[in-house]
């Protein structure tokens, strides 16, 4: 069980090359109750700081002198010592293609510049929720015996979802890279919940949902779909096709906790 009880216990690393932006964000963090803030201005200085000061949350700008936040998150996720690091982006970048990699990498939030204090506070709370481990309260299941299948073609996304479930007391987790592999796993063992991405090769989330709902042996399993395109019109009717709930990427632990309690209870 984590010893964290309050926002003031959290430590942050702010990666921002602009002195003006550093002051603005640091001031907002201070108003939110954050007291422990370290600073970096590049990928190199961030990695150097992580070696001696592993923070609870990294807040980074998109563009840095020696690369982008996409390159930074790859270096963090590919290092066993930092792969579980909580990460948030604050950027004026609006191009979905430039942001997609971060969405798939398990960031807790992507905030625009300028950001609102409300959005910043939600992201900070998400960090606390992920760190302060607390078993999810389910009427019909013991979280520790719940069997979950995560289906996502992104290894980083799979790890992030698994870490979030672990923080809720869910330990029995299996993985599949796409819908076809998921069906193979579903026919091999019993699962209580399927968490699936929408966009995947071989067989996407909609096709997986259709196959599960058309199978007499699998149709009862609840399905939570996660997608960086959750707001798109192509997903507007997915609930009618058998998905129990949809969650956008990036997602907050409290949102997933609420959705799981809803569909499992």
- Map out the domains of the chain with their CATH numbers: 7-131 (3.40.50.2300), 143-264 (3.40.50.2300)
- Each residue's pLDDT expressed in tens, for the chain with a length of 265 residues: 344 457 888 899 999 999 999 999 999 999 999 999 999 999 999 999 999 988 999 999 999 999 999 999 999 999 999 998 999 999 998 888 888 899 888 888 889 888 888 888 888 888 887 777 678 888 878 889 999 999 999 888 898 899 889 989 999 999 999 999 999 999 999 999 999 998 899 999 989 999 999 999 999 999 999 887 655 555 556 656 688 988 888 877 888 888 888 888 7
C-alpha distance from residue 61 to each of 7, 21, 89, 112, 197 (Å): 22, 9, 6, 10, 26
Cα of first residue to Cα of last residue in the chain, in angstroms, is 25
- Measured distance CA(223)–CA(193) in Å, rounded: 6
> What is the pLDDT at residue 62?
96
Beta strands in 102-183 (DSSP E): 109-112, 147-151, 172-176
- Measured distance CA(216)–CA(218) in Å, rounded: 6
Burial class (CB in 10 A: 0-12, 13-18, 19+), 84: middle
Q: Which positions ≥6 away from 96 have C-beta within 8 Å?
A: none
> What is the pLDDT at residue 1?
35
> What is the pLDDT at residue 2?
42
> What is the pLDDT at residue 60?
96
Residue whose structure tokens are 């270096």: 75
Q: Nearest CA to 182 among 162, 157, 152, 142?
A: 152
SS3 for 256? Answer: helix
> What is the pLDDT at residue 55?
92
Q: Nearest CA to 158 among 242, 69, 55, 83?
A: 83
> What is the pLDDT at residue 242?
84
Residue 112's DSSP bridge partners are: 91
CB 194 within 8 A of CB 149: yes
């Amino acid at each position: 069980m984590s010893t964290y009880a309050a926002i003031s216990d959290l430590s942050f690393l702010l990666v921002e090359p602009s002195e003006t932006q550093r002051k603005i964000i640091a001031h907002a963090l201070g108003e939110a109750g954050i007291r422990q803030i370290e600073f970096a201005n590049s990928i190199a200085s961030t990695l150097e700081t992580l070696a001696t000061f592993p923070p609870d949350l990294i807040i980074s700008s998109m563009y840095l002198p020696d690369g982008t936040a996409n390159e930074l998150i790859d270096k963090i996720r590919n290092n066993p010592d930092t792969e579980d690091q909580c990460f948030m982006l604050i950027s004026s970048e609006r191009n979905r293609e430039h942001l997609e990699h971060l969405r798939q990498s398990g960031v807790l939030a992507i905030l625009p510049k300028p950001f609102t204090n409300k959005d910043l506070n939600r992201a900070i709370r998400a960090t606390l929720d992920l760190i302060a481990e607390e078993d999810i309260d389910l009427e019909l299941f013991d979280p520790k015996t719940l069997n979950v299948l995560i289906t996502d073609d992104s290894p980083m996304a799979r790890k992030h979802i698994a870490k979030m479930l672990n923080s809720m007391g869910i330990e029995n987790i299996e993985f599949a890279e796409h819908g076809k592999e998921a069906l193979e796993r579903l026919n091999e063992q019993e699962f209580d919940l399927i968490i699936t991405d929408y966009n995947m090769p071989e067989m996407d989330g909609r096709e997986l949902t259709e196959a599960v709902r058309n199978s007499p042996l699998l149709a009862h399993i609840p399905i939570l779909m996660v997608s960086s395109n959750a707001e798109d019109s192509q997903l507007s009717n997915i609930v009618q096709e058998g998905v129990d709930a949809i969650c956008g990427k990036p997602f907050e632990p409290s949102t997933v906790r609420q959705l799981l309690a809803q569909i499992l209870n």
